Amino acid sequence: MINYSAKNFNLADTLDCGQIFRYRPYKTGYLTFSLDKCAFLTRDGENVRINSNDDEYFKNFFDLQSDYERIVKNAVKFNIEKLSLAAQKYGGIRILRQDIFETLISFLISQNNNIPRIKNTIEKTCEFLGEKRTFDGETYYSFPTAEKLSLADESFYKKTGYGYRGEYVKKVSEKIVNGEINLLSYNGFSTAELKNELLKIKGIGEKVANCITLFGYHRADSFPVDTWIEKIYHEDFGGTINDRKKITQYFVNLFGENSGYVQQYLFYAKRKGDFDK
């Protein structure tokens, strides 16, 4: 059991901000899944309680070693009114340290997709190709290995809702299995080098690459740009560029090593309608 201060750890905001798809409401909190592991998170007064089948894994997963009070203060120091509002209101968002392979596959599935369909595809994938597990009396399924995904046939990808994305997932899984791609070896690269390697993988574009560097490799000098961030750039920062790659670079130049945290604060606040009030 892990007990952690809730001051800078908001469960709903952390899970609902678009960085993770394998979680669900449960009892008074949430069940969260990663690989073959499960954690039950709930708020208990001034603390977050995490009951899991691997406490050490989830201490790292929820980034409990990082000082988010300092991260919020750094965001406020930029003295940008809407960013300060977002950081102070949503400073309980934590950037998760997710498994790299699961993150890559999840965000390949996410492109040109909506969250209910993404969750459904991932859930079916785990159910069909993962291993059955139980936690606190609840059944769940582990995230499948690259080998399992590489061996899956066309009918699997069709019935689980991958669409054209199935080709990308199968191909990258095959390359991981045969050793052409070693995701862990990218850890030694700079963020720019890492992103360039990811962009070589068929199906990975600018936004997905930035999501993987941020949510899989925990590179905080990443700034994924989607429709919401484009709106922020044009409506709230007065930007005139339409190229998403250049918008990413604009924000990374502006926010540096704080970029990933700033992106989550701004994205979530915009999606919640806080900038329209």
User: Which residues does the annotation mark as catalytic?
Assistant: 207
SS3 131: coil
DSSP letter (8 states) at residue 210: H
Q: Which two tokens stand for residue 199?
A: 């962009």
Q: What are phi and psi of 210, to 5 degrees?
A: -65, -35
Report the C-alpha gap between 103 and 165 in whole angstroms: 15
SS3 49: strand
SS3 273: coil
SS3 157: helix
| E runs forming strands in 61-201 | 132-135, 138-141
Which single residue is written with the structure tokens 């102070």?
Answer: 88
Contact 75, 265 (CB under 8 A): yes
Contact 19, 95 (CB under 8 A): yes
